Amino acid sequence: MTTLPDNTEKKLGLVIDLDTCVGCHACVISCKGWNTENYGAPLSDQDAYGGNPSGTFLNRVHSYEVQPEEGHAQLIHFPKSCLHCEDAPCVTVCPTGASYKRVEDGIVLVNESDCIGCGLCAWACPYGAREMDMEEKVMKKCTLCVDRIYNENLPEVDRIPSCVRTCPAGARHFGDLGDPDSDVSQLVAERGGVDLMPEQGTRPVNKYLPPRPKDTMPEIDVLAPFLEPVVQEPGGFLGWLDKALEKL
């Protein structure tokens, strides 16, 4: 049944640090690589080397310009994948039961052999986390690398999602957000982690750490105001040129 569990034993998810992300897209590539070769149908591309390339991705990095009231604009890179919501609207709309949320760890998955490719779950997701694969005609989404995190054939250091393992900036963290003592929960508490689109009522498990405020340099040089001002008017050749052009 595609009803949601009342509670999950764990709430596995990601914490994404918008202060640290450098926008390199390494997580996008490693996600595509891992998930093309492993769990479920491969992530296909259409017209990959042609004029209008397009493909299935489970993780995409947006970039936003934020202009404060005063000062310079900031550029913020913004990775986005499935947030494994507690009230996942994508699960309850599924007519076949292909979409489900696991009781043991809260991961939202698609059973691809039950998926009819109607696309309604992607309609129900406010985050654009689900994409229909144009080759396999089934819905694809982030599995939180369910085939890595419990995989005892991998070295322990690799038993985390591919995107987290790859991130060269340490901007992605993986853990149990249901446990208030876990590293990720403490990080969220410390840095004021937030939900995306909280008004949609999806209660996402993944959290985003907002960029830290930019520091400002205080005026520490007490003698600077007494220095002779730098000459504002150009002299020499430039001065002559300035005057000559003025007269024209």
| Exposure string over 31-60, b if 16+ CB within 10 A, otherwise e | bbebbbeeebbebebeeeeeeeeebbbbbb
Query: Cα separations (Å) of 38 from 50, 68, 98, 158?
Result: 26, 43, 19, 15
Neighbouring C-beta atoms of residue 186, cutoff 10 Å: 13
Q: How far apart are CA 229 and CA 223, in angstroms?
A: 12
Applying CB under 8 A, among 131, 163, 176, 178 the residue interacting with other proteins is 131
Q: Taking CB under 8 A as the criterion, which residues in 182-211 touch other proteins?
A: 194-201, 208, 210-211
Residue 33 touching other proteins (CB under 8 A)? no
Q: Which is nearer to other proteins, 192 or 234 (CB)?
A: 192
22 counts as binding other proteins under rule CB under 8 A: no
Per-residue mark of binding to other proteins, 139-178 (x: CB under 8 A): ----------------------------------------
Per CB under 8 A, does 122 bind other proteins?
A: yes
Smallest gap from Cβ 241 to other proteins, in A, equals 39
DSSP string spanning 6-47?
S--S--EEEEEETTT-----HHHHHHHHHHHHSSSS---EES
Give yes or no for residue 74 binding other proteins (CB under 8 A).
yes
Q: Mark the segment that binds other proteins (CB under 8 A) among 133-141, 164-172, 215-223, 224-232.
A: 133-141
Residue from 24, 26, 29, 118 binding other proteins (CB under 8 A): 118
With H, G, I as helix, E, B as strand and everything else as coil, classify residue 221. coil
Q: Work out whether 80 is an interface residue with other proteins (CB under 8 A).
A: yes
Strand 207-209 relative to strand 12-17: parallel, antiparallel, unpaired? parallel
Residues of this chain that bind other proteins (CB under 8 A) = 1-3, 18, 28, 52-57, 60-69, 73-76, 78, 80, 89, 92-98, 114-120, 122-128, 131-132, 134, 136-138, 194-201, 208, 210-211
